[in-house]
């Protein structure tokens, strides 16, 4: 066996570079983060051939004094931490002191810097097998310029794994984009092969920040985004979340920052996905740019060589905070009144689940949230759903069908409506027709009786123009599928089945969660074999199971017994469901699988209970549906994530018919 030898500095740095330097984008990330830590307010990035041939980064930061230049090229040399306490509360983007040494070992790198208050600038480069440094005088303003040429010239095995120039530049551009989104107070310039790509000036206000967002992510994102800014329990979350109708086929428009550091974290992804669960297509991904601020001592950023992952001290607290706040913002979306929506125009993006061609985006407003805890302020929501109507609904889910007139909100007329037996899943015919429940609000200007033949003009004449409901008044129904309504903005088009399906679903959820979940004892309890750690977890998580009507007891070192299950899940695969819940608890520290399964079944029931297509509705019934939409959470999307309504403003209609030309 060979004797143990000390690795040469160059070989040690090249091994370290394997963790730090993967491609040109990795180099740019490390160097730009160093510049930001040096308090730079302007960063210029000049790239050639995707960064393989040349990368030049210039900043106006504090610079490096002459005596520290040689040390800066050494491994584990940094000015950002000095004690263990510093490491436990890192507030800088870089801190390991490996970047410059690793980069210089696999490229030809020159560093020129002039420190604040110094009279001269100096240039340093590493030379020879032993990585000895040579420092020479240079001409340079305050700040630092680093030029990296011929990446992986001395490690051809690494170089052959690089992709095409376009692919490498796309990765590099994404790095610049993420850092530009993390620091609005810093200017960024990016050029590739002599062509300017970005010239982003520093911004300090909301309007210009949204302009930067539009430049980097596209105008459609900011046009279809909701703002969020909430604070609770020492955590602050702010930023933008995309409307559910602005979803993507892949998770390529998701940016999450923790104390200014962009991260890809499973806990964060799970919380956001859970918040959007009720309003997205299967396989679609939400869009967001979110910033989480918390005490640096409560998050560990030193868990991955590229610092893309973090570990929270109290992951459950962070998860619940993210989920609850994002979920509330989405739930508080309401149809907008007063202002016309922003026009998208043209064909929709192939990657975006948006409105049909030549339709404007849905316009929304939500109840503002205070900075402390996100509690809504302003006028209270006077939605009577959940009062006597909910109390009149089921004592158990079996009674859904006994009270289907209220629980399912079925519209009368035509065929006999149908309901679902929550125990068997069978479709049951109801004994009699019923009319759709009417929501009484200050903006209800019609009467259920005698309004069937009244014209829109008569309804409007009873109210002041300023008091017109956000979705206006119904004027017609098309092919038994769409409701046309006239609002103060223009024309409203509603998919009546999709809209009513959401209303029914939300009422069923309110009834389901307003009371203790009815459960059913099993005639033959189910024994589930698990690991010892999983059995311990079940024993410690009784409250989670009991909240959803499960009774699960530990019966051995590696076994648990399921004795009761919720009625709504009686026909499910109980054993596998329990295993999945335990797995979710193990990975995420929390679980939403029980709720997800219950919601799936209620969504299916709501779909069957909602008004069907080709049903002829009276004007009064159509107006009742519009009023219910205005007070129902998440009414902009059906249970499958499809939009329930859209609008065309008068200017949109004028454009269609070339009026004014």
User: What pLDDT, in 10s, does the model give residues 75-117?
Assistant: 777 777 777 777 777 777 867 667 888 888 889 999 999 999 8
User: Confidence band (pLDDT; 50, 70, 90) for 130?
Assistant: low
Residues 78 and 120 in one domain: yes
The Cα 511–Cα 406 span in angstroms is: 11
Asked if pLDDT for residue 47 goes beyond 90, the answer is yes
Domain that holds residue 245: 218-366
Domain annotation covers residue 205: no
pLDDT on residue 414: 30
Residue 314, phi then psi, degrees to nearest 5: -120, 80
Helix, strand or coil for residue 148?
Answer: strand
Asked if residues 575 and 526 have their Cβ atoms less than 8 Å apart, the reply is yes
Asked if pLDDT for residue 52 goes beyond 60, the answer is yes
Residues 193 and 326 in one domain: no
User: Confidence band (pLDDT; 50, 70, 90) for 440?
Assistant: very low
Residue 544 or 465, more confident: 544
Residues 120 and 51 in one domain: yes
Instruction: Mark which of 200, 232, 253 sits at the end of a domain.
Output: 200
User: What pLDDT, in 10s, does the model give residues 322-345?
Assistant: 999 999 999 887 675 333 333 333
Instruction: Mark which of 200, 232, 257 sits at the end of a domain.
Output: 200
Residues 99 and 179 in one domain: yes
Domain count, the chain: 3
The Cα 216–Cα 178 span in angstroms is: 9
pLDDT on residue 384: 38
pLDDT on residue 403: 36
Domain annotation covers residue 56: yes
Domain annotation covers residue 87: yes
How far, CA to CA in Å, does 523 sit from each of 144, 520, 526, 528, 562? 75, 9, 9, 16, 11
Asked if pLDDT for residue 294 goes beyond 90, the answer is yes
pLDDT on residue 654: 92
pLDDT on residue 306: 62
Residues 230 and 188 in one domain: no
Asked if pLDDT for residue 304 goes beyond 90, the answer is no
Asked if pLDDT for residue 153 goes beyond 70, the answer is yes
User: Confidence band (pLDDT; 50, 70, 90) for 409?
Assistant: very low
The Cα 618–Cα 438 span in angstroms is: 13
User: Confidence band (pLDDT; 50, 70, 90) for 562?
Assistant: very high
Domain annotation covers residue 2: no
Residues 401 and 527 in one domain: yes
Instruction: Mark which of 366, 391, 410 sits at the end of a domain.
Output: 366
pLDDT on residue 518: 72
Q: What is the dihedral of CA 28, 31, 32, 34, to 10 degrees?
A: 160
Residue 350 or 90, more confident: 90
pLDDT on residue 376: 28
CATH number of the CATH domain containing 242: 3.30.230.10
The Cα 371–Cα 230 span in angstroms is: 5
The Cα 494–Cα 498 span in angstroms is: 8
Domain annotation covers residue 209: no
User: Confidence band (pLDDT; 50, 70, 90) for 363?
Assistant: very low
User: Confidence band (pLDDT; 50, 70, 90) for 18?
Assistant: low
Asked if pLDDT for residue 369 goes beyond 50, the answer is no
The Cα 81–Cα 248 span in angstroms is: 40
**Residues 6+ positions from 293 with CB-CB distance below 8 Å:** 235, 236, 237, 238, 259
With vertex at residue 482, the alpha carbon angle to CA 477 and CA 484, rounded to the nearest 5 degrees, is 60
Asked if residues 550 and 532 have their Cβ atoms less than 8 Å apart, the reply is no
Asked if pLDDT for residue 446 goes beyond 70, the answer is no
Question: Global pTM?
Answer: 0.71
User: What pLDDT, in 10s, does the model give residues 215-240?
Assistant: 999 999 999 999 999 999 899 999 99
User: Confidence band (pLDDT; 50, 70, 90) for 365?
Assistant: very low
Residue 601 or 565, more confident: 565
Q: Environment class of residue 96 by beta-carbon count within 10 Å: exposed (0-12), middle (13-18) or buried (19+)?
A: buried
Asked if pLDDT for residue 190 goes beyond 60, the answer is yes
Percent of the chain clearing pLDDT 90 (strictly above): 39
Asked if pLDDT for residue 63 goes beyond 90, the answer is yes
Residues 362 and 388 in one domain: no
The Cα 628–Cα 642 span in angstroms is: 18
Domain annotation covers residue 3: no
pLDDT on residue 33: 92
pLDDT on residue 417: 34
CATH number of the CATH domain containing 37: 3.30.565.10
Residues 170 and 299 in one domain: no
Residues 81 and 184 in one domain: yes
pLDDT on residue 517: 62
Q: Three-state SS across 217-266?
A: HCHHHHHCEEEEEEEECCEEEEEEEECCCCCECCCCCEEEEECCEECCCH
Asked if pLDDT for residue 289 goes beyond 70, the answer is yes
Percent of the chain clearing pLDDT 70 (strictly above): 75
Domain annotation covers residue 329: yes
Residues 335 and 387 in one domain: no
Residues 517 and 621 in one domain: yes
Domain annotation covers residue 431: yes
Residue 604 or 563, more confident: 563
Q: Token pair of 336, please? A: 């907008």
Q: Token pair of 576, please? A: 């596998």
User: Confidence band (pLDDT; 50, 70, 90) for 396?
Assistant: very low
Residues 481 and 359 in one domain: no
Q: What is the mean pLDDT of the chain?
A: 77
**Residues 6+ positions from 161 with CB-CB distance below 8 Å:** none
Asked if pLDDT for residue 135 goes beyond 70, the answer is yes
Asked if pLDDT for residue 364 goes beyond 80, the answer is no
Tell me the residue ranges of DSSP E strands in 379-486: 418-420, 427-429, 473-478, 482-486
């Amino acid at each position: 066996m060979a004797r143990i030898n000390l690795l040469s500095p160059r070989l040690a740095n090249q091994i370290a570079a394997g963790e730090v330097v993967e491609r040109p984008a990795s180099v740019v990330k490390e160097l730009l983060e160093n510049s930001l830590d040096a308090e730079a307010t302007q960063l210029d990035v000049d790239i050639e051939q995707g960064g393989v041939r040349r990368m030049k980064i210039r900043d106006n930061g504090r610079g490096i004094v002459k005596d520290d230049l040689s040390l800066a090229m050494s491994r584990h040399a940094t000015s950002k931490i000095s004690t263990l306490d510093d490491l436990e509360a890192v507030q800088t983007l870089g801190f390991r002191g490996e970047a410059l040494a690793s980069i210089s070992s696999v490229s030809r790198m020159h560093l020129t810097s002039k420190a604040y208050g110094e009279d001269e600038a100096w240039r340093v480069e590493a030379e020879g097998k032993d990585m000895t440094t040579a420092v020479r005088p240079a001409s340079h303003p305050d700040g630092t310029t680093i030029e990296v040429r011929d990446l992986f010239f001395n490690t051809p095995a690494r170089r052959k794994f690089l992709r095409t120039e376009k692919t490498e530049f796309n990765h590099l551009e994404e790095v610049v984009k993420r850092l530009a989104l993390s620091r609005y107070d810093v200017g960024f310039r990016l050029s590739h092969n002599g062509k300017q790509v970005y010239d982003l000036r520093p911004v300090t206000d909301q309007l210009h920040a949204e302009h930067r967002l539009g430049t980097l992510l596209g105008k459609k994102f900011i046009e279809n985004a909701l703002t969020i800014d909430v604070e609770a329990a020492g955590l602050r979350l702010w930023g933008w979340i995309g409307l559910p109708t602005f979803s993507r086929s892949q998770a390529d428009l998701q940016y999450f920052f923790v104390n200014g550091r962009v991260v890809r974290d499973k806990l964060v992804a799970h919380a956001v996905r859970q918040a959007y669960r009720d309003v997205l297509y299967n396989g679609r991904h939400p869009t967001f740019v979110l910033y989480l601020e918390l005490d640096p001592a409560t998050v560990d950023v030193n868990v991955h060589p590229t610092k893309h992952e973090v570990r929270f001290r109290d992951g459950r607290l962070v998860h619940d905070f993210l989920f609850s706040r994002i979920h509330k913002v989405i739930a508080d979306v309401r149809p907008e009144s007063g202002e016309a929506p922003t026009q998208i125009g043209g064909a929709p993006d192939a990657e975006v689940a948006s409105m049909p061609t030549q339709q404007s985006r849905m316009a929304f407003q939500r109840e503002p949230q205070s900075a402390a805890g996100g509690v809504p302020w302003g006028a209270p929501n006077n939605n009577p759903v959940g009062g006597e109507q909910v109390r009149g609904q089921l004592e158990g889910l079996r009674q859904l069908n006994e009270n289907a007139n209220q629980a399912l909100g079925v519209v009368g007329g035509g065929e006999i409506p149908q309901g679902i037996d929550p125990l068997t899943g069978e479709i049951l015919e109801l004994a009699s027709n019923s009319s759709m429940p009417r929501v009484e609000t200050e903006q209800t200007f019609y009467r259920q009786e005698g309004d069937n033949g009244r014209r829109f003009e008569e309804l409007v004449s009873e109210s002041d123009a300023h008091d017109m409901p956000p979705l206006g008044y119904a004027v017609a129904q098309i092919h038994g599928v769409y409701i046309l309504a006239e609002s103060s903005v223009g024309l409203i088009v509603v998919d009546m089945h999709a809209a009513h399906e959401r209303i029914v679903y939300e009422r069923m959820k309110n009834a389901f969660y307003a009371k203790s979940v009815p459960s059913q004892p099993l005639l033959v309890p189910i024994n589930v074999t698990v690991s010892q750690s999983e059995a311990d977890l079940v024993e410690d998580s009784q409250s989670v199971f009991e909240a959803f009507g499960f009774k699960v007891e530990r019966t051995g070192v590696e076994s648990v017994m399921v004795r009761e299950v919720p009625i709504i899940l009686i026909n499910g695969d109980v054993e596998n469901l329990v295993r999945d819940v335990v797995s979710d608890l193990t990975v995420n520290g929390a679980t939403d699988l029980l709720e997800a399964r219950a919601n799936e079944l209620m969504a299916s029931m709501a779909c069957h209970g909602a008004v069907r297509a080709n049903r002829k509705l009276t004007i009064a019934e159509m107006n009742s549906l519009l009023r219910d939409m205005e007070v129902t959470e998440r009414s902009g999307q059906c249970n499958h994530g499809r939009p329930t309504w859209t609008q065309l403003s008068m200017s949109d209609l004028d454009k269609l018919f070339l009026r004014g030309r």
